[in-house]
Amino acid sequence: MMETSLFCQVNSIASGPADKAKTHAPVITTQGDIKVGRPFLVNIKVGETMHPMENGHSIQFIDLYSGDIYLSRVDFTQMNIPEVSLSIAFPHEGKRTLRAFSRCNLHGIWEGIKEVNVT
């Protein structure tokens, strides 16, 4: 059943219902040091536990941002697993906030955040 209240905001682990956050909030991971101008992998999976991918209940997309700067979108069908690895590179040093947004057709948009340091 669609929970319309979840469509009135961007949900997160901090703001959304805890039972829904475990399967809806994007989890962002990176490996190793992040160097200026060098590609690195950003791995995003939807939820700490696998989100269902069924005809009536699925993740439609994941968007990735650096702060407010749009980087990428990956669309999914019910045949996909809602996980993605993206190769990106930052042209400048400093702290960056990676923000991933996932959209569930029944439970709205969810945000996951990871702070990284580019050296």
What are 113's strand-pairing partners?
A: 99
Distances (CA, A) of 93 to 36, 38, 67: 6, 11, 14
pLDDT on residue 108: 93
In the CATH scheme, what is the code of domain 4-118? 2.60.40.730
In the predicted structure, residue 10 carries a pLDDT above the cut 90: no
pLDDT tens figures, 105-117: 999 999 999 999 9
Domain locations along the chain: 4-118
45 vs 67: CA distance, rounded Å? 19
- At 17, list the tokens: 């219902």
pLDDT tens figures, 56-106: 999 999 999 999 999 999 999 999 999 999 999 999 999 999 999 999 999
In the predicted structure, residue 4 carries a pLDDT above the cut 70: no
